Amino acid sequence: MVKPIKICIVCGREFQWRKKWERNWHEVKYCSKACRSGGLKGIDRKLESTILQLLRSRQSGASICPSEAARNLGSDESQWRSLMEPARRAARRLVHQGKIDILQGGKIVDPSKFKGPIRLKLKSE
């Protein structure tokens, strides 16, 4: 049996149907307790809009590193570093909104599966 898949609204990763969700699968939004309790905060939306703003301010076809969005919003070293993972989650959500692609070595990667450094690029029309 092929298990149904959903996209977590917080981390933007795919997750698979599990037995414990048998009764309420249609309502499930989060892949994990961590995502459910963390939820989406103002800063998460800000990271999304900052990524888009940075990309739109560059030449078309240009790419950015998610750290640029994190640096943009973090006032000091430790603060922007703590925004790195949230910036990557924001990037995944933007992929699912059809707004950007995530690239590694110039190739589009699966937002649920990539590991290591990534670049972000506006989705070409």
Q: Considering the complex, state which of residue 31 and residue 122 has its C-beta at the smaller distance from Zn ion.
A: 31
Measure the CA–CA gap between 31 and 16, rounded to whole angstroms.
8
Q: Nearest distance from residue 15's CB to Zn ion, in Å?
A: 7
Q: Considering the complex, state which of residue 11 and residue 120 has its C-beta at the smaller distance from Zn ion.
A: 11
3-state secondary structure 17-30: CCHHHCCCHHHCCC
Q: Considering the complex, state which of residue 44 and residue 68 has its C-beta at the smaller distance from Zn ion.
A: 44
Q: Nearest distance from residue 10's CB to Zn ion, in Å?
A: 5
Containing H/E element for 63? strand 63-64
Give residues in contact with Zn ion (CB under 5 A).
8, 10-11, 31, 35
3-state secondary structure of 71: helix
